[in-house]
Structure 1
Amino acid sequence: MRSSLLRLIPRGPTLLVFGVLLGLVCPALADLARPLMPATIFVIVLGTLLRIDGQAVVAALRRPSLSVLLPAVVMVACPLAIGAAGQALGLDPELALAIVLAVSAPPSSGTAAVARMLGLDGAVPLVVTVLSMVLAPVTVPLLAGWFGGLEISALELALRLALLIGSAEGVAFLLRRHAAPVLAAHGGLVDGIIVAALLVFAVATMAGIRTQIAVDVQTAMFCAALAFACNIALQIAGNALLPGTLPERLTVGLILGNRNVGLVWSALGAAASPRMALYFAATQFPIYILPRLIETLIGRHKQKAKA
């Protein structure tokens, strides 16, 4: 079992693409996995918190660009910019709100694991993700209230997010306090579990999506195109935000582009309308497909560097 999980890590980008496509091709499997979505979110967040390196956190906190600027950009500036752009483009209010909610989510809890799969620095996304998760119960409800249209109060959304994140933080604290040496010795296994949870989550997000696509192909394609456009735009912005080497800039791009939409989705529950759920599901395609393309880009960069 342990060796199987470890083997998932280098194949992670390809497996995540496979998970999305599997859920789309096999609706029954996606429906079966759908009830597991909150549990997979919990496991992914917990795994991320267990991978925290105290020294890396301290080093990052000493760099205002990582401890202050980047979380503020991720959790406040990006949602406001995307929301303003959606309103300027005259998007349907329901879809515009879905985009804001998706971008207001903290970085995907699997971003650090994905970064390590790609040979990038996993410490930076890990620290930024943890800091952003602390902000999420405050910033997400405020942004949702600012743009309006949700069938849930800001306070209830804040409490749901705090419960999801706080419970994972509590379990992580206990495990790190009583099993720190074991966690340090089996960090790769934790990454493998995160990848496995991401795979199940990817399948689960496709529940009901095939039916929605059949009913309204045009809207489904538009949501997918919009999801790719937002993710790519944020990744490009991340590449331009901070100076550094290509791997460093790609890491910041991943942080801005890949969001833990499932966290917000799970917190919303029934308050997420079918169209919002369709967009949330569409965001999974760039989250899981683009790392595979980034892997190719990194490979070519390394070949040029050797030449």
Structure 2
Amino acid sequence: MRPSLLRLIPRGPTLLVLGVLLGLAFPALADLARPLMPATIFLIVLGTLLRIDNQAVVGALRQPSLSVLLPAVVMVACPLVIGIAGHALSLSPELALAVVLAVSAPPSSGTAAVARMLGLDGAVPLVVTVLSMVLAPVTVPLLAGWFGGLEISAFELALRLALLIGGAEGIAFLFRRHAAPVLAAHGGMVDGIIVAALLVFAVATMAGIGAQIAADMQAATLCLVLAFACNIALQATGAVLLQGDLAQRLTVGLILGNRNVGLVWSALGAAASPRMALYFAATQLPIYILPRLIETLIGRDKNKVKP
């Protein structure tokens, strides 16, 4: 099993696209995977926390740009700007709230693993993701309450997020305390499990989406366009925030663009309306498709610098 999981890592970007396509092409498979969504989210968050490098965390805490500025931009500035833009575009309140909730989520727990798949630095997204997850139970409910329209109280949403993230953090703490050498020796295995969980999650998010697309193609198209526009805009913004080479810029772009929408989606539960669920599902497409395009971009850049 271990070699099989390890082989998933370099094929990760392609597999993630495949997961989305499988979920759309085989609705029964997506319906079968749908109940696994909370478990896969928990597993992805747990895997991310298990990959924490204490030295990297300490080093990041000594850099205000990583420990304060970047998490603040990710968790506060980006949702506010996107939310204001959504209202300026006269989006329906329901869709505008869905966009805000998606962008208020912390960076995708698989971003560090995806960065490593692409040959980028996985330490920075890992640290920023962990710090952002700590902020999530506070910032997500506050932003949701400010923009309004949720059928769940801010306190209940905060409690659900705290339980989901705190539970994973507690288990990760126990593993790291009692099995640190094993984790250090099998970090690639953890990445493989994260990729496998991301694949199952990608399939699960497509449950019912085909029917919604068939019922209202215009709404589905709008959600898809918004999802790609937000992700690309955030990645482009991230790429210009940090001075450095292409790999460093793309890493920050991934942090801003790829959000753990599934975490917020799972915490909302039945409070997520069908239209919100449609948008949340649409956000998975750029999350899983764009890394494949970035992989191509990196490959071309490497070929240019070869003597």
Q: Please give the TM-score of this superposition, normalised by the length of structure 2.
A: 1.00
Q: CA offset at residue 245 of structure 1?
A: 1.0
The gaps in structure 2 that reach 5 residues or longer are none
State the match for 1:215 in structure 2.
215
State the match for 1:90 in structure 2.
90
- Code of the aligned partner of 2:278: L
State the match for 1:77 in structure 2.
77
Q: Percent identity of the aligned residues? A: 87
Moved more, 57-66 or 75-84: 57-66
Q: CA offset at residue 21 of structure 1?
A: 0.5
Between the aligned partners of 1:169 and 1:60, the Cα distance in structure 2 is: 19
Between the aligned partners of 2:76 and 2:282, the Cα distance in structure 1 is: 22
State the match for 2:143 in structure 1.
143
Cα RMSD between the aligned structures? 0.4
Between the aligned partners of 1:57 and 1:247, the Cα distance in structure 2 is: 20
- Code of the aligned partner of 2:14: T
State the match for 2:11 in structure 1.
11
Which residues in structure 2 correspond to 1:1-307 (within 5 Å)?
1-307=1-307
- Code of the aligned partner of 2:214: A
Between the aligned partners of 1:303 and 1:61, the Cα distance in structure 2 is: 35
> Helix, strand or coil for the counterpart of 2:179?
helix
Between the aligned partners of 1:246 and 1:37, the Cα distance in structure 2 is: 34
Between the aligned partners of 1:218 and 1:84, the Cα distance in structure 2 is: 23
Between the aligned partners of 1:120 and 1:27, the Cα distance in structure 2 is: 34
Could you list the per-position Cα deviations for residues 175-204 of structure 1 after superposition, in whole angstroms to 9, with x for gaps in the alignment?
000000000000000000000000000000
> Helix, strand or coil for the counterpart of 1:283?
helix
Q: CA offset at residue 122 of structure 1?
A: 0.1
Q: CA offset at residue 59 of structure 1?
A: 1.1
- Code of the aligned partner of 1:13: P
Q: CA offset at residue 62 of structure 1?
A: 1.1
Between the aligned partners of 1:20 and 1:63, the Cα distance in structure 2 is: 37
> Helix, strand or coil for the counterpart of 1:99?
helix
Between the aligned partners of 1:21 and 1:217, the Cα distance in structure 2 is: 18
- Code of the aligned partner of 1:209: I
Between the aligned partners of 1:142 and 1:25, the Cα distance in structure 2 is: 38
Could you list the per-position Cα deviations for residues 33-61 of structure 1 after superposition, in whole angstroms to 9, with x for gaps in the alignment?
00000000000000000000011111111
Between the aligned partners of 1:164 and 1:20, the Cα distance in structure 2 is: 24
The gaps in structure 1 that reach 5 residues or longer are none
> Helix, strand or coil for the counterpart of 2:152?
coil
- Code of the aligned partner of 1:47: G
Q: Please give the TM-score of this superposition, normalised by the length of structure 1.
A: 1.00
- Code of the aligned partner of 2:303: Q
- Code of the aligned partner of 2:210: R
Q: CA offset at residue 289 of structure 1?
A: 0.1
Moved more, 55-64 or 232-241: 55-64
Could you list the per-position Cα deviations for residues 263-293 of structure 1 after superposition, in whole angstroms to 9, with x for gaps in the alignment?
0000000000000000000000000000000
Between the aligned partners of 2:213 and 2:246, the Cα distance in structure 1 is: 37
Between the aligned partners of 2:155 and 2:147, the Cα distance in structure 1 is: 15
- Code of the aligned partner of 2:83: G
Aligned residues, how many? 307
Q: CA offset at residue 216 of structure 1?
A: 0.4
Could you list the per-position Cα deviations for residues 94-119 of structure 1 after superposition, in whole angstroms to 9, with x for gaps in the alignment?
00000000000000000000000000
Between the aligned partners of 1:141 and 1:296, the Cα distance in structure 2 is: 37
Give 4+ residue runs of structure 1 displaced > 4 Å after superposition.
none
- Code of the aligned partner of 1:248: Q
Could you list the per-position Cα deviations for residues 110-165 of structure 1 after superposition, in whole angstroms to 9, with x for gaps in the alignment?
00000000000000000000000000000000000000000000000000000000
